[in-house]
Amino acid sequence: MNKFKRNERIAAITQILVNAPNKVFTLTCFTEIFAASKSTISEDLVIVKDIFEKQKLGKIETITGAAGGVKYIPIISLEKKSEIIENLKNELSKESRRIPGGFLYLADILYDPSFVQELGAIFAEEFYSKEVDYVVTVETKGIPLALKTAHMLNVPLVVFRNTFKADDGPTLSIHYASGSDGRLKTMYAPKNAMKKGSNVLIIDDFMRAGGTIQGMISLVDELESTVIGIGVLFEEVMETEKLVDDYFSLFTIDPRKETGHVTIQSHILK
Amino acid sequence: MNKFKRNERIAAITQILVNAPNKVFTLTCFTEIFAASKSTISEDLVIVKDIFEKQKLGKIETITGAAGGVKYIPIISLEKKSEIIENLKNELSKESRRIPGGFLYLADILYDPSFVQELGAIFAEEFYSKEVDYVVTVETKGIPLALKTAHMLNVPLVVFRNTFKADDGPTLSIHYASGSDGRLKTMYAPKNAMKKGSNVLIIDDFMRAGGTIQGMISLVDELESTVIGIGVLFEEVMETEKLVDDYFSLFTIDPRKETGHVTIQSHILK
């Protein structure tokens, strides 16, 4: 049987925990891998836990009881959050991002794997306490962000669609009114997308009036589940009132032409 | 100044490396964080490297020279690969996944965060040597897989679309013929989606005749870049020849009604 040094166990345990955020690993799982006693593994975990706290690399949480074990909760440090905000402000103020009609080009940012990983962790942090069963988004640009949030929370992702394809199987669909122009649109969900009575966290990349979010809420309702949280990356400043009121947005953005430049307000640092 | 024990440095270094696959960290980055000498950090890295190899947790690669440093390459072990194949076979043979028209319901699998993370690592492993600059996919179901592949390769993701929205900015578009029914479709890419002369890896979730992949190749060509690899998760058995010939698929799938059940062949274990 292999014998492992403390150093080695610590490296391996860290890899396993960091690779699967919010997933509970039993002590037995590690005692088996390393042929070590529970008390040895517990000591290893204390070391990992302490250094993660000291270096702000996230939280190692111990769960006691029958379903007990240990898990890694990614937490983005305040310094890192400030850095994210600064970078984003610089990016968004670039002239080349401005699109006629008061829009901003955001696709490259929304599809940046490391960036959405960090943002996913920030959203997850906000909703850890809510016992989320599913993360839901609607295609297309919010998918990476929603996927990373789901990954950080260790729950499945469900994607609602604007079209209905042959390989979607039986679907539920609703009509919803776009908040900006009142135009009627359709949104589809696989009929068996989630267990009835689930807690749903809605994640989307951009909110103007909130019509799309309202549509998602209706569709979750049709699936007999409950929206327990709404997270939006960019919320646009509007003259009129939003259709949704209880949501968490990371940035307020004002790309209106009159001001000549984009202004961004961050809600990350509280 | 904080002094760190070897154990502590190893836990922190592991977290940092695992969190950012394929990203090069200089030794100086670590000597600064831990106020330790280069030789001390090098010794730490040897320990991490060895245990990762021993426990099949991935590869720690040292890059020498001016742009030198160290990076983590996620590698899925053979045991883990066999487990993935087994689970997938069980999942796909469930009667509830069969949709009229010879389709299979795959959305929940394609949106499963941990599953696509593992698959992304498998695709990345296949294309590490190709100097990929961008991963490209077309909306919608392939996005999570493509995102994770891009993350593992530490490159940006570009998503082509089937519609053209106001916030996409100037776009390039092409018509392409669906391989299955010959119907003409449109595909759009942001005009400045990638630097000219880039190496592109195409990732998609499903391939029938290959018309969509052909469309992506044309659009990459219009963007004045080159497709240097094609990765497909599921390839469907066809009576006729595929339109694309040089691709890497993880699974061949035969959901034809006559056979009464789905047969899957894996190309993961070589």
CATH of the domain at A233: 3.40.50.2020
Residue A172 half-sphere exposure, CB side, CA atoms within 13 Å?
17
Residue of B nearest to A118 (CA): B19
Is residue A178 situated within a structural domain? yes
pLDDT at residue A33 is higher than 90:
yes
Which of B73, B95, B115 terminates a domain? The answer is B73
Mean pLDDT of A152-174: 94
- The pLDDT of residue B263 is 74
Rounded CA gap, B150 and A140, in Å?
17
Q: A22, A48, A73 — which closes off a domain?
A: A73
Per-residue pLDDT band at A125 (split at 50, 70, 90): very high
Q: Is the complex ipTM higher than 0.85? A: yes
Q: Residue A85 in 3-state DSSP? A: helix
CB contact under 8 A, B55 and A33: yes
Distances (CA, A) of B253 to B26, B103, B181, B234: 44, 11, 19, 6
The pairing of strands B134-138 and B103-104 is unpaired
A101 plus A37 within the same structural domain: no
Query: A29 and chain B: CB distance < 8 Å anywhere?
Result: no
Same domain, B31 and B144: no
Count Cβ neighbours within 10 Å for each residue of B222-243 and write b for 16 or more, e otherwise: ebebebbbbbbbbbbebeeebb
Residue whose C-alpha is closest to residue A122's, from A164, A173, A74: A74
Residues A133 and A225 in one domain: yes
Q: How far is CA B161 from the centre of its chain?
A: 19
Identify whether A211 is part of a domain: yes
Q: Is B8 on the interface with A (CB under 8 A)?
A: yes
B1 domain residue, yes or no? no
Note whether residue B25 is domain-resident: yes
Check B190 against A105: CB less than 8 A apart.
yes
Preceding peptide of A140 cis, ω within 30°: yes
Average pLDDT over residues A194-205: 98
Q: Which residue has the higher pLDDT, A104 or A181?
A: A104
For helices B6-19 and A38-54, give the axis angle rounded to 10 degrees: 70
The predicted structure's pLDDT at residue B258: 53
Residue A1 domain flag: no
Statement to judge: residues B90 and B69 lie in one domain: no
Tokens of A96: 């080349």
> Taking chain A, what is the end-to-end CA distance rounded to the nearest angstrom?
51
Contact A47 B8 (CB under 8 A): yes
Cα–Cα dist B13/B18, whole Å: 9
> What pLDDT score was predicted for residue A237?
86
**Which one has a higher pLDDT value, A254 or A49?**
A49
Chain B residues whose beta carbon lies within 8 Å of the beta carbon of residue A168: 99, 105, 107
Residues B234, B252 share a domain: yes
On chain A, the residues whose CB falls within 8 A of the CB of B107 are 159, 168, 190, 193
Of A73, A97, A122, the last residue of a domain is: A73
- Asked if residue B89 and residue B67 are part of one domain, the reply reads no
Residue B127 lies in a domain: yes
Is B236 domain-assigned? yes
d(CA A189, CA B111): 14
CA distance B223 to A141: 21
Residues 78-107 of A with CB under 8 A from B: 96, 99, 101, 103-107
Interatomic CA distance for residues B187 and B196, integer angstroms: 19
Same domain for A29 and A152, yes or no, is no
Count structural domains, chain A: 2
Note the pLDDT of residue B181: 77
b/e map A133-169, b = 16+ CB within 10 Å: bbbbbbbbbbbbbbbbbbbbbbbbbbbbbeeeeeebb
Between A265 and B259, the more confident residue is A265
One domain for residues A57 and A90: no
Q: How does pLDDT run across B97-149, given as a tens digit for each residue?
A: 988 887 889 999 999 999 999 999 999 999 999 999 999 999 999 999 999 99
Q: Is the pLDDT of residue A160 over 90?
A: yes
Q: What is the pTM of this model?
A: 0.95
Q: Which of A114, A160, A204 to mutate to test the interface with B (most CBs of B within 10 A)?
A: A114
Kindly identify which residue of chain B lies nearest to residue A111, measuring between CA atoms: B157
If we measure between CA atoms, which residue out of A150, A159, A190 comes closest to residue B113?
A150
The DSSP element (H or E) to which A15 belongs, if any, is helix A6-19
**Cβ-based contacts under 8 A for chains A and B:** 180
In this structure, the answer to whether residues A63 and A141 fall within a common structural domain is no
Contact check, Cβ <8 Å, A2/B54 = yes
- Taking an 8 Å cut-off on Cβ atoms, the answer to whether A105 and B20 are in contact is no
Q: Which of A71-85, A249-263, B144-158 has the lowest mean pLDDT?
A: A249-263
- Tell whether A114 lies on the interface with B, counting CB pairs under 8 A: yes
Residue B253 is assigned to a structural domain of this protein: yes
Domain residue limits at A36? 6-73
| B32 and B103 belong to one structural domain | no
Which residues in chain B (195-254) have CB-CB distances under 8 A to chain A? 206
Interchain contact B55–A (C-beta under 8 A):
yes
- What is the average pLDDT across A158-176? 93
Alpha-carbon separation of residue B262 from B8, B106, B258 (angstroms): 50, 13, 10
If asked whether residues B183 and B221 sit together in one domain, one would say: yes
Residue to mutate among A16, A77, A104, A111, with most B CBs inside 10 A, is A111
Q: Which CATH number does the domain housing residue B32 bear?
A: 1.10.10.10
* pLDDT < 70: residue spans in chain B: 1-2, 255-262, 270
B112 vs A: CB within 8 A: yes
Which of B48, B111, B161 shows the shortest C-beta gap to A11?
B48
pLDDT of res. A270: 61
**Contact criterion met (CB < 8 Å) for A101 and B169:** no
Query: Are A122 and A231 in the same domain?
Result: yes
What confidence score (pLDDT) does residue B261 get?
Answer: 59
Chain B residue closest in CA terms to A53: B12
Nearest neighbour of B168 by CB, restricted to A7, A107, A150:
A107
Q: DSSP strand E in chain A: where?
A: 59-63, 69-73, 98-99, 103-104, 134-138, 157-160, 171-177, 184-190, 199-207, 226-236, 248-254, 263-266
Q: Which residue of B has its CA nearest to A101?
A: B166
